[in-house]
Amino acid sequence: MKDVIRVAMIQPKPYPTFDDPRNLAHALIMLEKCRGEQLDVVCYPEYFPYQGDSELAAAARQYGTYIIAGLVEAEGDKLYNTATLFDRKGRILGRQRKRNIGVMERDRLGISPGDGVFRAFPTDFGKIGMPVCIDLWGQPEAARQLTDQNADIIFNISLFPVLRGHWKRAALVRAFDNFMPIVGVNTADYNALVQGRRIHQHGGHSFALHPPKLLDRHDFNRWFRSLDHVDEWVQTELSELEQIHIAEISLSSARQFRREFWSRLGFQRN
Which CATH architecture group holds 4-265? 4-Layer Sandwich (3.60)
CA distance 14 to 33: 17
Q: How confident is the model at residue 265 (pLDDT cuts 50, 70, 90)?
A: very high
Amino acid at 52: G
Is residue 127 very low, low, confident or very high in pLDDT (cuts 50, 70, 90)?
very high
pLDDT tens for residues 223-247? 999 999 999 999 999 999 999 999 9
Kindly report whether the global pTM for this prediction surpasses the value 0.85: yes
pLDDT digits (tens, 9 = 90+) for 139-193: 999 999 999 999 999 999 999 999 999 999 999 999 999 999 999 999 999 999 9
The Cα–Cα gap between 267 and 270 comes to: 10
> What average pLDDT is seen over the chain?
97
How many angstroms separate the CA atoms of 71 and 69, rounded? 6
**What pLDDT does residue 132 have?**
98
| pLDDT > 90? residue 267 | yes
User: What are the residue boundaries of the structural domains of the chain, listed by start?
Assistant: 4-265
In order of 12, 125, 222, 244, the CA distances from 219 in angstroms are 39, 24, 5, 33
pLDDT at 84: 98
Identify the band that residue 110 occupies on the pLDDT scale cut at 50, 70 and 90.
Answer: very high
Provide the β-strand partners of residue 124.
Answer: none
